[in-house]
Structure 1
Amino acid sequence: MSSLRAKIQDVFNEPACEQNRGKDAKARKEGCSKPLTPGAAAGGCAFDGAKIVLQPITDVAHLIHAPLACEGNSWDNRGAASSGPTLWRTSFTTDLTELDVVMGQGERKLFKAIREIKEAYGPPAIFVYPTCVTALIGDDIEAVCKRAAEKFGLPVVPVNAPGFVGSKNLGNKLAGEALLDHVIGTVEPDDAGPYDINILGEFNLSGEFWLVKPLLDRLGIRVRACIPGDARYLDIASAHRARAAMMVCSTALINLARKMEQRWDIPFFEGSFYGVTDTSEALRQISQLLVKKGADPEMLGRTEALIAEEEAIAWKKLAAYRPRLEGKRVLLNTGGVKSWSVVHALMEIGIEIVGTSLKKSTVEDRERVKQMLKDDNHIFEQMAARELYAMLSEHKADIMLSGGRTQFIALKAKTPWLDINQERQHPYAGYDGMVELVRQIDLAIHNPIWSQVREPAPWDCQPAMKDELPRTKSETATVQAFKKFAGTMADDLGEC
């Protein structure tokens, strides 16, 4: 536990974080995450955050050393996609019981589970995750992993991020520390070249990185490792031989990028593949870093030619949507890198941003948003469900872009909604991804269902009644009595 405390303290004192540098010594020790309240939902624990970062490594077996309830359904992990192996989607757990805890059988059961996975699946590596229970009873995960690695001849990586140590974001960073301590730098590639890069903090949600990789391939740039999206263990183990790196989500893995620069002289920058302009800028910065590290300077010219070609195609496709979307108002309830990258992307085609959230955003993210919107009234840290509903029901936005947890607020307000977070079904990165995002917004806003659901219900209005056949006196009296009754009801309910 002492080593874990030291690791957490090291993560809290992050020199690459400008917000952290501006704190005094006492505030720096408290870290960037909000303290957890016992018994309250905290949006995920450290274990959850570590597993989110590492599980998309697709050919690795992920073993949870814990009671069964600590492992959820891993078959659909945040929408990350794989181009090959599916082992990462299989749940492995030691399934500790009360008897195992009381009798001290945890470490023995863990060793047995590692052996069974090795024999049944033969993965290139096994990642072991302790949770609150196994950390509290004192199971020595690192000793068991070291012994198993020697016995079975494969890497067994301890990921020390039990849930009680902090928030999900802290778990993200502890996962990066596990890669630094046990994986990166353990394999020397025989094909290292001057055009190798790493992409950090890219999860390949809905396969969207596959829209960007062909652009890099056309420039002759090889992605040595994409961490963690669609990654392979050996690629990450040899990631220390890349020449440059791009950081996509700094709130998750800024510590990994900084320490790789310190240890292996791999310069990095933070960029975005959302939107036409940001995608072009990311390609430029990658090329410039590679040229500084020894790549042929003619690469800069090829990059500009590619950008000009792709931008022309993208803007031509987007021009068809501009008349239908220009002036439309969007409420963006997300966070992190999307708080500014998606804002920029939408503003490029004339969409008005009436609000964007800044939760999980860094200081740099916040500054970018302020420069783009130039109005602090459109920026909020976090908006309560009641406030979101009021804003949408008053028709202050034409559509809301958010995660799945707030979709029902939009539906209750009879407002179009589009998933922009990890559960999304469509890729939005790169030039083609930007076109797809705009297409989905257009489909959502102009879907005819919204005009129908906003109409009064049939029982809220009383249509006029017409006599079609001659009636007897008694029938006429009955009809007149019913008309009188219906008219009274219509007055009470309101006319349509």
Structure 2
Amino acid sequence: MAESLNAKITALFDEPGCDTNVAKGEKARKKGCSKPLQPGAAAGGCAFDGAKIALQPITDVVHLVHGPLACEGNGWDNRHAATSGPELYRIGATTDITETDIIMGNGEKRLYRAIREVIERYTPPAIFVYSTCVPALIGDDINAVCHHATEKFGTPCIPINAPGFVGSKNLGNKLAGETLLDHVIGTMEPERSTPTDINILGEYNLSGELWQVKPLLEQLGIRLNACITGDARYHEVATAHRARVNMMVCSTALINVARKMEERWGIPYFEGSFYGIGDTSDALRNLARMLVARGAEADLIDRTEGLIKAEEQRAWSRLEPYRERLAGKRVLLYTGGVKSWSIVSALQEMGMVIVSTSVRKSTDNDKQKIKDLMGGDAHMVSSIPPREMYAQLRRGDADILLSGGRTQFVALKARTPWLDINQERHHAFAGYDGMVTLVRELDASLSNPVWEDVRRLAPWEQEDGEAEFDDEGVPALVPIG
């Protein structure tokens, strides 16, 4: 297992579909995408976490974590990846191995019994078995156990070899994609196939975002064969090789899947986004154009343009009341990946100003898109230390911070509006309706009267309007009114 995993990781670091790798020399590619992790450095974002994030939205299978109880952790809700039916992906199955199992070498037996119990209790179409650090270190062969269980019970048991210590969350995403290619995609044939079948890769249906896009496709007669992996079913992923076109939403995570599906089954792919009115329209146009080139009826392009015109008109009419209030507002965007440029496009459509955007987990292609959108004003940062972010917000460099939950407290301490746009969010921002939701949430946060109250200094904090400075040299907030 170790040799196979090492070979797979080496191949992923040399991924020809990744612009960053292509730009490197052979020696640099062999070193990998990042420095080796120190023990504990990957906590909260390890390879196991990345693999489970990528695969758990397959809703009708059981995701069985082979390891200590803590590794299953907060996997139940899986970042609000919503389902339209099965709930099996949320049961939080784990072997819960203990010190006794480790010392006595009972890990593999415990895993086999867990698989048998899951099949007897839930009869799922498949079981995804995740290796974690402890069983990987003591040599548990989950490949052999899964192979034996598959033959014994007739239920596919899919081994995911992505223990946390092998690398980062992003590497875990890619290892999950390799698992789908090795064990799932292409193992079943669809009951029917149409000239307009597509797959969407790297979309996880967070807060139901897929459901804001799927109706648009249905109106055009485009059939979503498989979403990998948001609100997916096992048989959909297994038959994904019969689609005509792949749309890649997050190339950082699953570019290897898109490239290898093109190599093996001749499915062309493009990278697009459903964030923002313009990007949603461009994605629909690209889908229509590529499907027509692959045999769909030629009038699909005209019907797509008609739908785009109607949806854009409807969206802009709903956004018009917010434009005057949001135009010129300054935004500090601290996210990564596809959102580093797709959210930029969405905000610019409302006349907002991007102070800077982070490019964590962003590819060279993502960065180029930021430059194309922002021109000479493109201010990209890899990371901002909390102290520096706090100082920027206290100085008033930005009117609002858009980020994930881990930096919300920096904004709150600086008494600055904040909006969650990362995977933990509770609102869906994809598609035309999602853009309206995003703008409505931005306006609600910026116009909330609480900010005027929390910025007002108490009488004993300042007298006669004299400026005060905190221990970081940042001017204190002045009285309002």
Q: TM-score range by the shorter chain?
A: over 0.9
Distance 1:321 1:362 in 2: 32
- Structure 1 residue aligned with 2:72: 71
Distance 1:495 1:216, change over 3 A: closer
Q: Which residue of 2 aligns with 1:403?
A: 404
Which secondary structure state, in structure 2, belongs to the residue aligned with residue 290 of structure 1? helix
Distance 2:319 2:121 in 1: 50
- Does 2:317 correspond to 1:316? yes
CA distance in 2, matches of 1:230, 1:290: 23
| Distance (whole Å) between structure 1 residues aligned to residue 336 and residue 277 of structure 2 | 20
What is the letter of the counterpart of residue 311 of structure 2? Answer: E
SS in 1 for 2:52: helix
Contact 1:44 1:167 in 2 (8 A): yes
TM-score by length of 2: 0.94
Q: 1 CA distance for matches of 2:201 and 2:35?
A: 24
Report the residue type matching 1:140 in the other structure: D
Question: In the aligned structure 2, how far is the partner of 1:365 from the partner of 1:216?
Answer: 25
TM-score normalized with structure 1 length: 0.92
Q: Out of 426-435 and 376-385, give the one that drifted further.
A: 376-385
Query: Does the 8 A contact of 1:249 with 1:336 survive in 2?
Result: yes
| 1:189-268 correspondence runs (5 A) | 189-268=190-269
Q: How does 1:88-237 map to 2 (within 5 A)?
A: 88-237=89-238
- Give the SS at the match of 2:389: helix
| 1:70 positional shift | 1.6
Residue in 2 aligned with 1:486?
Answer: none
Q: Return the offset for 1:134.
A: 0.8
Taking the aligned partners of 2:296 and 2:147, their CA distance within structure 1 comes to 40
Deviation string for 1:287-318 (max 9, x for gaps)? Answer: 11111111111100000000011011111111
d(CA) in 2 for partners of 1:160 and 1:87? Answer: 21
Gaps of 5+ in 2: 465-477
Aligned amino acid, residue 391 of structure 1: Q
1:24 shift after superposition? 1.1
* SS in structure 2 of the partner of residue 78 of structure 1: helix
| Deviation at residue 40 of structure 1 after TM alignment | 3.1
Q: For 2:153 and 2:439, how far apart are their aligned partners in 1?
A: 51
Q: Offset of 1:37 from its aligned partner?
A: 2.1
CA distance in 1, matches of 2:359, 2:68: 35
Flag the 1:281–1:404 CA change in 2: closer, same or farther, 3 A.
Answer: same
State the AA in 2 paired with 1:268. Y
Corresponding residue for 1:428? 429
Q: Is the 8 A contact 2:456 2:479 kept in 1?
A: no
Q: Which residue of 2 aligns with 1:282?
A: 283
- The farther-off stretch of 299-308 and 99-108 is 99-108
Matched residue, 1:417: 418
Aligned twin of 1:469: none
Deviation of 1:462 after TM superposition, in Å, equals 9.0
Question: What is the deviation of 1:136?
Answer: 1.3
Structure 1 position 383 matched with structure 2 position 363: no
Aligned 8 A contact 2:42 2:165 in 1: no
Letter of the 1:334 counterpart: T
- 2:10 is aligned with 1:9: yes
- Matched residue type, 1:243: R
Q: Distance in 1 between matches of 2:295 and 2:142?
A: 42
Counterpart contact for 1:244–1:266, Cα < 8 Å: yes
The alpha-carbon deviation at position 377 of structure 1 amounts to: 6.2
Shift of 1:375: 3.3
- CA deviation after TM superposition for structure 1 residue 22, in Å: 1.4
RMSD of equivalent CA atoms: 1.6
Distance in 2 (alpha carbons) for counterparts of 1:152 and 1:437: 47
User: What's the CA shift for 1:97?
Assistant: 1.4
Counterpart-to-counterpart distance in 1, 2:169 and 2:126: 24
Structure 1 position 63, deviation (Å): 0.7
In structure 2, do the counterparts of structure 1 residues 495 and 395 end up closer, same or farther at CA, with 3 Å as the change threshold?
A: closer
Structure-2 residue corresponding to 1:372: 373
Does structure 2 retain, via aligned residues, the 8 Å contact 1:42–1:167? no
In the TM superposition, residue 68 of structure 1 has moved relative to its aligned partner by: 1.6
Mark the runs of 5 or more structure 1 residues left unpaired by the alignment: 464-493
- On the 8 A contact 1:202/1:226 being kept in 2, the answer is yes
Residue equivalent to 1:23: 24
Mapped to 2, the partners of 1:462 and 1:415 lie a distance apart of 23
Higher mean alpha-carbon deviation, 333-342 vs 28-37, is at 28-37
Deviation string, structure 1 residues 224-275 (Cα, Å, up to 9, x no partner): 0001111110110111100001000000000001001111111100000000
Partners of 1:298 and 1:118 in 2: CA distance: 47
Partners of 2:91 and 2:275 in 1: CA distance: 31
**Given residue 274 of structure 1, which amino acid in structure 2 is its aligned partner?**
Y
Give the Cα separation in 1 of the matches to 2:295 and 2:479: 76
User: Partners in 1 of 2:198 and 2:449 — Cα distance?
Assistant: 46
Contact kept in structure 2, 1:33 and 1:170, CA below 8 Å: no
Match of 1:478 in 2: none
| CA distance in 1 between partners of 2:122 and 2:100 (Å) | 28
Corresponding letter in the other structure for 2:6: R
What residue identity is the alignment partner of 1:227? I
Question: What is the Cα deviation at residue 107 of structure 1?
Answer: 1.0
Aligned partner of 1:55 in structure 2 is: 56
Query: For 1:266 and 1:124, how far apart are their aligned partners in 2?
Result: 26
Matched residue of 1:175: which SS? helix
Per-residue CA distance 1:305-332 (angstroms, 9 max, x = gap): 0001101111111111111111111110
Q: Secondary structure at the match of 2:80?
A: coil
Partner Cα distance (1:383, 1:42) in 2: 19
Identical counterparts, % of pairs: 65
What secondary structure, in the 3-state scheme, does the structure 1 residue paired with 2:428 have?
Answer: coil
Contact 1:33 1:169 (C-alpha < 8 Å) held by counterparts: no
1:378: Cα distance to partner? Answer: 2.1
User: Number of residue pairs matched?
Assistant: 466
SS for the counterpart of 1:146 is helix
Counterpart code for 1:39: G
* Other structure's SS at 1:74 match: coil
- Shift in Å, 1:190: 2.0
Q: Is the 8 A contact 1:260 1:266 kept in 2?
A: yes
Q: Is the 8 A contact 1:36 1:42 kept in 2?
A: no
CA distance in 1, matches of 2:82, 2:151: 32
2: CA distance, partners of 1:269 / 1:210: 21
TM-superposed deviation, 1:75: 1.9
Whichever residue aligns with residue 298 of structure 1, its letter is D
SS at match of 2:300: helix
Residue 199 of structure 1 aligns to which amino acid in structure 2? I
Give the distance between the partners of 1:87 and 1:431, measured in 2 at CA: 31
What does residue 40 of structure 1 align with? 41
Per the alignment, do residues 65 and 328 of structure 1 end up closer, same or farther by CA in structure 2, a change over 3 Å counting? same
1:285 is matched by which residue type in structure 2? Answer: N
